[in-house]
Amino acid sequence: SRPVFPKSSKPNHSLAVSLATSTHFASRRIEGREEEKMGGGMEVHKNRWIEEWNAGRENLEFNFRWTRRSLAVVGLFGLAVPILVYKGIVREFHMQDEDAGRPYRKFL
């Protein structure tokens, strides 16, 4: 079930081909072979520290070790902060119930 186009609305493939081959890739000849580069031939200088950081991020699950510091961070942001946020929200609801003269609502 291929759509049937009227003869006047056929897509113009020559425009697509010219756009794909014109400025999207810049080519450069090195030692007899041609190399294509993205971005119109702009040179990019790699930063060693950024490359090391990215490699560390890519391999984090293989290099991670549980230490006192990592346990403290998980305990703080995984347990203490959510509990304190929950307690603050419940306290706010109880203050609204008290102001309105209603009995306290139960949560959890």
Q: What is the pLDDT of residues 9-50, one digit of tens each?
A: 555 555 555 555 554 445 555 566 666 666 666 777 889 999
> What is the rounded distance in angstroms from the CA atom of residue 74 to the CA atom of residue 66?
10
Domain count, the chain: 1
Give all strands (DSSP E) within 1-108, no chain letters.
25-30, 33-38
Q: Are 93 and 107 in contact (CB under 8 A)?
A: yes
Model confidence pLDDT, tens digit, residues 48-85: 999 999 999 999 999 999 999 999 999 999 999 999 99
41 found inside a domain: no
84 found inside a domain: yes
Residue 75 lies in domain: 67-107
> What is the rounded distance in angstroms from the CA atom of residue 83 to the CA atom of residue 74?
13
Q: Are 36 and 27 in contact (CB under 8 A)?
A: yes
87 found inside a domain: yes
> What is the rounded distance in angstroms from the CA atom of residue 108 to the CA atom of residue 96?
18
